[in-house]
Structure 1
């Protein structure tokens, strides 16, 4: 059963928090009427639940489950909404050179697969075949699977925002498990902003990020963070050049949609500081902030540090 907190108001900002899609969502609206705001928030929650059911791999009626069952067998006709989301996912995979990928190998097949085949065959976005005319999806290899775990939360947040805007909600914020999606302005007509703190000076922001009509999604290297917190830090060394190589501890990506920000955050972390910044700086309407394992801060174009 879903746990729902009481709706509250503060300076014409109405909020409700609820557990959805394995994450804590908080939906905040700028409005003058509590009953009206409550109704709109309920509609947004219903939309998130619809997306969750649509993208689920559970149940005999699940299209994702049907795609996976027919891997290596035949194409599966899907809803246009699922088709478009897979198409966009494959585009992000190409953009990140496969660092983002919704494909993986099934548990029963993994035991029989050589490590090199995971990336080359079973976990490879290039082996997903889309037919726009028939609106079908085909996974080339038996044992291939797809999952929307890395993009579904962001897509659901975007859909909830769309529903709210279509119903006349001119300003608001959707917090999807820490990812913030905003539109409109605050009650005082100021843009939505957040302060990004220096890891060593948590109460002192080093940059004020304007996230008005944008989304910021953050990915944290939890394993590396725990290692550094619990034992003396050991630097990796570049075998060819002989100098320490820094790892990314945290990356935040700002873009117009939660789907894109959510999808890009982890790949940037896996790509490393230089490659990640290079990629982001080639793209329009997207920026990022990176903190490495030495607490050094890197920013792409579009982010200005505070004075």
Structure 2
């Protein structure tokens, strides 16, 4: 498929699974098209990545930031703005266990992308084994080339709906800002329950449309072996991070200014990345230049899906 065809397949597939009231699950050829499009888009994103600035929409909560600062002083001063790290820390922080209890355990992240989030967590827990899995082969190759460290941190290629691990193989499953692209969310949750050992936890963070949230809630209470522990609405903390990134003097804009491109190209890049990393969710509206370029057919509007909330769900394997 050409790039426009890939983008169309991806956006159409996402709309189908996130906006359908009655039948959000997709299987067969339709699901495979979405997965192929998703993998290709993330392959391209990895190839074009210039650094480690943004891994996800991020969150900002001063209490969380202070906790991370005590553990890793200066974590948000060198190469990132610290908001993506806070979100990953929240994924771990939400699990009902002390940090010391993770020593010697195996943690699996499904949808790890280029691996920066898992690499960050591995610095917090050096005695824990981490495995990252992603549908993008290029993301996995990049992560293994740049970040892997023997048994402590490694990355594998795989499908969230068909995890390549034995039953009860891991102690904790992490899933951050990824599952809204899965055609069969129920199959994913079944796989999570299968690979978790009894007593192990699942910590899930994602952005939701109204329809997808209702679908997730139904599955969360009906997936055999998984028992919900608690749910946290992170919407305001996520919006706070996005708004800080949108500020003119932010790390995001300073990093963009260092890229070699024309002023107009930089403006377009800022628009597209702002939308991609949650700008609309936080109230972003394109300026007059971008609106004019859209009317001329130069820049897509990129409104995205009508996301209502950003939430964390934690469950235990019984």
**Fold in common (TM above 0.5):** no
Which protein has greater RCO, CA pairs closer than 8 Å, 6+ apart? 2
- Structure-2-length-normalised TM-score: 0.25
- Normalising by structure 1, we get a TM-score of 0.25
Higher relative strand content: 1
Q: Give the greater-gyration-radius structure (CA).
A: 1
Structure (1 or 2) with the greater helix fraction: 2
